[in-house]
Amino acid sequence: MLEKQRTIAKDAKISGTGLHTGCKSELIFKPAPEGHGISFIRTDLEKPVEIPATIDFVDSISRGTILSRDGVKIHTVEHVLAAVTGLNIDNIIIELNAEEPPVMDGSSIDFVNLLKDNITDQDKPKQYFEVKDIITYKNEEKGIELIAVPAEKFKVTYMVDYQNPALGTQFTSLYDLDEEFIKDYAPTRTFCFLTEVEQLKDAGLIKGGSLDNSVVILDRELNPEERKKIEDKLGMGEGIIPETKGVLGSVEFRFKNEPVRHKVLDLIGDLTLLGKPVRAHFLCARGGHAAHIELVRMLKQAVAKHEIINKFKRSPNEDFVFDVKDIMNLLPHRYPMLLVDRLLEMTPGKRAVGLKNVTVNEDFFNGHFPGKPVMPGVLIIEAMGQTGGLLLMNSIDDPTTKVVYFTGLDNIKFRRTVVPGDQLVMHLEMTRPLSRGICRMKGIAYVDGQKCAEAEMTAMVIDKEGDK
């Protein structure tokens, strides 16, 4: 049975103080129609600005996830988004009368309690993205590794190891969002080390932070003079900072491993930015918002690739993305100048692999050369260019109205001849993303795994009407 999309039945309101900005803010959750997704609306402006909660609108990662549109920002959205996604809500409008949602107690539980009995099913089915291939993000320098592996439902296994006796190594696993989210993860509070608190204070952040909405952990030994100085700087009362180790203010953890559980909460919030629920098992070590966002960017590329394959593939047994008929729908080239027979791989905006079967019946072999047929080098470059054109056409909106022209070629090299019977495989990589209609690509053509040609290309995308 197909799962239905979900929204809320009626408006729900909550207010408080923003963690970093210290602003007083009121947040109103409102129902949204099927297919709308999740979005914020800043209502405190002369003209309200709507910001979809998707990766395309991520502005920066500075102790939280910040969205922006046309210069308008919303800070620290992850706990609100975690509540919405943790409750399996697909469509909702979040009106906000300030630049940051209220931090509440530093977790998602207040948002969850506000929404959990206000959810209603809609008519259209929920659209999941199911991870089919392992996706890995690594930062070797920081020891970060995030892996998404295929799974029948959403799962998370998270590990952190801090060089701090108050925390040490922590581990948690979420196996069932419906059963575990509300009681085991939504109540977990944001946390940081005392050194980070000092740095954030110096940077003009955490204006709304307190021991009521954050767990602060001592990460170094302090002598009495240092302790008194920091207590005065942060506006804390005497005795709030422990002498050697532990949590400031003698605050107790809600769970023995609350910090790593809060990492899972942040991950759930950040994964919301994919724009659709995902089925995968996420294996995470020492992550944070910046790493989560990079993983979401990789997932978005996988979603785009998946959508293209679903659009063009005829059968699950086929090992290519486009056949020649699909290619002719996207490129204007025809015999004898259509030089790509199949598109084998496609990652929009990143990479494409094309195939050309070189037969003795090619028209150009009549004159190049009689008795010793060799494919002209310029046509090998043209075949790479057409593969690059397919990459570009699947990286833009409404490709049927566009045409690709190559405006420059650099560093052309030929390594071996191409003759009848060869299979020419062209690998194209985007080296400079499409901007203002222009991009750069690098192409390498292979036969039997050996390089036969390579080139760097500059291409331009224009409206078809511009060719008239």
pLDDT tens sequence across 374-401: 999 999 999 999 999 999 888 777 777 8
* Interatomic CA distance for residues 159 and 164, integer angstroms: 15
**344 is written with which tokens?**
């084998």
Task: Report yes or no: 271 and 85 within 8 Å, Cβ to Cβ.
Answer: yes
Tens of pLDDT along 98-108?
Answer: 999 999 999 99
Strands across the sheet with 65-69, in order? 58-61, 65-69, 72-74
CB 6 within 8 A of CB 84: no
Bridging pattern class, strands 402-414 and 423-435: unpaired
Amino acid at 439: C
- Please report the pLDDT score of residue 467 as a whole number: 45
Asked if the peptide bond before residue 336 counts as cis, ω within 30 degrees of 0, the response is yes
Backbone angles phi, psi at 384, to 5 degrees: -65, -40
Query: Are the CB atoms for 110 and 82 separated by under 8 Å?
Result: no
Task: Name the E strands within 319-437.
Answer: 342-347, 351-357, 402-414, 423-435
DSSP letters for 126-158: P-PEEP-S-EEEEETTTTEEEEEE--SS-EEEE
Locus of tokens 């920091």: 230
| Residues marked as catalytic | 289, 368
Q: Which residues of the chain fall short of a pLDDT of 50?
A: 466-468
Specify the CATH class of 4-126 in words.
alpha beta
Cβ neighbours around 203 below 10 Å, total: 11
| Residue for token pair 């309200």 | 48
| Domain 135-309 indexed as CATH 3.20.20.10 | no
Taking the domains of the chain in order of start, what are their residue ranges?
4-126, 135-309, 324-467
Q: What pLDDT is recorded for position 254?
A: 93
Query: Considering the entire predicted model, what is its pTM?
Result: 0.73
The predicted structure's pLDDT at residue 229? 74
Please give the Cα distance from 251 to 261 (Å, whole number): 17
Classify 324-467 by CATH class. alpha beta
Q: Which residues pair with 146 in a beta bridge?
A: 137, 284
